[in-house]
A and B are shown apart, each in its own frame.
Chain A
């Protein structure tokens, strides 16, 4: 449904084109009915599986904007020469087109809504085309299914692929969380194309309890969750990039116990690597709304 909302402008123009195309077709082609041509049945004689596309939203006849109302030529161009001889390629032969040329076809109808920022996005700059991710001539599109979406993304994002199975992870492989829950592959104004305007606001869509603001705020928590966490998966608890105390020591001064050597023995502040590490005491590390300081609560202890 989403794919079609911007088609109202393009559709009448395309319908006119289709009419002209049909009127110009050679006699052999006109042995087929206009309905058979525009519906793709004629094309299906050779491209047997291509018109599975009509099983989806592109094939909804009652929607005047849908390609089925015009036929294959709406995206692929005037078929006149091609139907004379298969050796003559279609005007828009996607396998020979640049990504920009391919995308221009799709954006004719699909520019609005969440795709407003496609131009200039990292994907656009890196020659990703709509058909790099979307399977149009198929009964279903794997990238639109949470369970199979990662397979599409990992075709390029090899650096993420091994992370989603790490012991500390989001439920991605179960299909409960998908790449598009956090990223808008069509472009956004946030870093790494996150769905909201910045990293933290994206994380808050599921972890709103971390937003605060609190009386005691932890600066990196307020600035960017990814300073401490890798949301794609880690071997450390809670998606932490590295274990405690090392993570904490990458910012904190070595006064008091903060420079202690990581150890599996000892007690009190010596046990800074076991269990929850530094959080054994500094339990509310994302911030606390406790207004007192009886026990150094200001350091996220209560």
Chain B
């Protein structure tokens, strides 16, 4: 079984592992006799060659262009057996765009500290061709007419530094402090737009205005822990801080006159949250344990509004939101085994997100037929849940479990709104499971879940005059009455000693109810997943694995074109009532091979393949026929082959080959042109051959 477990590594993970020559590849060999091994240090140096440009392959590792890349990994571990002091220096992908570095030292059971650095890049998979200038800054200049620009590589980079330490004292106490500083820079795809006619070739008044990103977040978690065999407590402070280094507005110069007033665009404001918490568990008896958590969080946002405000907001509204959200959490749970065959569980949870941001009228003169009265809209949400469950052991290793869950969510509702609302939703769920726990050859479970979500009466949406009904046709998907049924079957079967099979089948179905007098809105949803995994040990030296997953989802909804402000659908001609069934259908395969043909050689290969089809089936229910959208088919293929040859006991060479292919007929950007001439494009058939050779040494 140990050898099979080692083969669970998926193709993708092994491919990356292979490409970047991780320290894991250089684990120590199994020990012989009574030899003890207390060190697992390794260094790997190599070079990789990418055959082609591929923004998909390099989206998060930076290997976006054809060429050579350095491959450097190391893991230096030292344990001082006299003092129990560990020292570790770890590096992965050190010469790539996504390096990870860590240094840590600890005296086990006494103290420890670490410093960790990671860079997470994201290269926009689409190539941007634009005449917009100033990208990455809060001051953009946009051409007034379509301009043939040059290619621009949009990317973001997160540079993350973690510092932390811990100290144990007085036997049962310890303190932990973790601090994270993350700087994010770059730009992301963003835009502005309005109704109106754009230049020839464009789709209207839409302009490319990439959002500049230059922010720093800080997180600090300081906690005091108390641990005995009966009682465990952990209490502390968690603070998180977002600081946007950009000015709080994105200023746009130029562009189409029809969009002249769409500047500045407000950027994310600074915000912060402070949490105090206490969590713990207590063993009341050998058969009964309880746990709890109490937390109070105060989140604020007082960043200055964009400047200049265009036009000035209503008098008396100040220069910042004075935003404040207080969240209170209380949870308690108990698990008890009153008799050997019976286990009972209960859990209560209450979370009150109280948005205390003052309500002010930020703009006046709003039309009586508007769906806004000029006020800001704080969002308070109160969630209460309760769960009880009983599990009873039956003969022959079977166990029957039944559970009931309840969740109530209350949300505040603004007086004037644009979306249907109700005060509360209540959901009851019922779970029944039969599980076979102990067996030499077959374990598994069958589970059935049924849930019903209802709620308080739907509120009538009215316009700003407070009297005229607005549109009241759609029950939002997160609020609508819903019946959900789910069935899951899992099994692990060892029909023969070298063969392991795992089955996973899950089917879920949602049925939504609509608002009274309307049949629009979400109708149905479904998800099915069928998976089979197989592992076979051919010989002591060769093993194979394979898996297949078919995963399909579907969502059906109805709406209409051109409803009046009071929610009357024309339901005729070119303004039909129509439905859409959105499906995501996928077949996914993985194959793996591991071998050791001779003592000095290790071989491995992994293949993964996914074929994913998105369908958008639109049809008119009343009115003129309508067209559906073309399907989008995406195919992802990755093959990794590697070989290791041991030159000596503790060193060797490793060769890797990766074939990565991304195929799509996605039309999202294929015909699109912004009014300023910007286009986003991608190669619909991206193939990369990546070769790597590295030398490793272990000590």
CB within 8 Å of B: which residues of A? 1, 4-10, 36, 39-42, 44-45, 48-49, 51-52, 54-55, 57, 59-66, 98-99, 108, 111-113, 116-117, 119-120, 124-127, 135, 138-140, 142, 145, 147-148, 150-152, 154-156, 158-159, 161-167, 171, 173-177, 189, 197-198, 201, 204-206, 208-217, 219-220, 222-224, 227, 234-237, 242-243, 246, 249-256, 258-264, 266-271, 273-276, 279-281, 283-284, 288-295, 297-299, 301-302
Contact = CB atoms under 8 A, between A and B. Distances in A.
B239 to A, nearest CB: 12
A275 B672 contact: yes
A160 B675 CA distance: 39
B567 A264 contact: no
Given A9-B228, A139-B40, A268-B196, A250 B477 contact: yes
B198 interface: yes
A54 B474 contact: no
A219 B310 contact: no
Given A5-B174, A139-B37, A268 B197 contact: yes
Interface in B169-211: 171-172, 174, 176, 182, 189-198, 202-206, 209
B118 interface: yes
Given A119-B281, A127-B437, A208-B217, A293 B84 contact: no
B30 A48 contact: yes
20 contacts: A1-B86, A5-B109, A5-B225, A8-B168, A44-B33, A54-B37, A55-B36, A62-B84, A64-B109, A112-B227, A173-B16, A189-B293, A189-B329, A216-B376, A242-B582, A246-B616, A253-B472, A262-B580, A276-B189, A284-B265
A212 B355 CA distance: 11
B108 interface: yes
Interface band, chain B: 35 or more
Interface in B309-360: 309-313, 317, 321, 323-325, 327, 329, 331, 333-335, 345, 347, 349, 351, 353, 355, 357
Contacts of B472: 253
B569 interface: yes
B203 A271 contact: yes
B262 A174 contact: no
B66 to A, nearest CB: 19
B378 A227 contact: no
A120 B387 CA distance: 10
Contacts of A98: 437-438
Contacts of B193: 280-281, 283, 301
B34 interface: yes
A289 B306 contact: yes
A244 to B, nearest CB: 10
Contacts of B27: 138-140
Given A60-B108, A242-B582, A292-B312, A166 B13 contact: no
Given A165-B636, A269-B195, A57 B108 contact: yes
B157 to A, nearest CB: 12
B378 A213 contact: yes
B584 interface: yes
Contacts of B372: 293, 298
A41 B32 CA distance: 11
Contact of A204 (B240, B502, B562): B240
Contacts of B680: 275
The 9 A-B pairs at the shortest CB distance, nearest first, are namely A62-B84, A112-B227, A209-B268, A171-B60, A251-B476, A291-B313, A253-B471, A158-B531, A208-B242
A119 to B, nearest CB: 4
B477 A213 contact: no
Nearest to A108: B229
A5 to B, nearest CB: 6
B141 interface: no
Contacts of A210: 268
Interface stretch (B45-53, B75-83, B689-697): B75-83
A147 B17 contact: yes
Given A201-B297, A208-B271, A275-B203, 8 more contacts: A55-B28, A120-B334, A158-B531, A205-B219, A209-B215, A254-B560, A271-B204, A302-B263
B241 to A, nearest CB: 8
Contacts of B474: 249, 251-254
Contacts of B563: 253-255, 259
Contact of B301 (A120, A147, A212): A212
B227 A111 contact: yes
Contact of A152 (B8, B100, B305): B8
Nearest to B1: A95
Nearest to A138: B27
Contact of A252 (B5, B205, B419, B437): B419
Residue among A1, A198, A222, A301 having the largest count of chain B Cβ atoms under 10 Å:
A1
A65 B98 CA distance: 38
A151 B262 CA distance: 48
B80 to A, nearest CB: 8
A1 B379 contact: no
Contact of B578 (A7, A261, A291): A261
Given A8-B171, A111-B227, A174-B16, A49 B309 contact: no
B44 interface: no
A275 B191 contact: yes
Residue among B5, B17, B269, B627 having the largest count of chain A Cβ atoms under 10 Å:
B269
A72 to B, nearest CB: 13
Given A223-B379, A293-B374, A113 B227 contact: yes
Nearest to B555: A242
A273 to B, nearest CB: 7
Contacts of B225: 5, 112-113
A253 B204 contact: no
A150 to B, nearest CB: 6
Contacts of B92: 147, 175
A211 B299 contact: yes
A45 B35 CA distance: 10
A64 to B, nearest CB: 8
Nearest to B362: A291
Interface stretch (B449-457, B536-544, B594-602, B606-614): B606-614
A8 B109 contact: yes
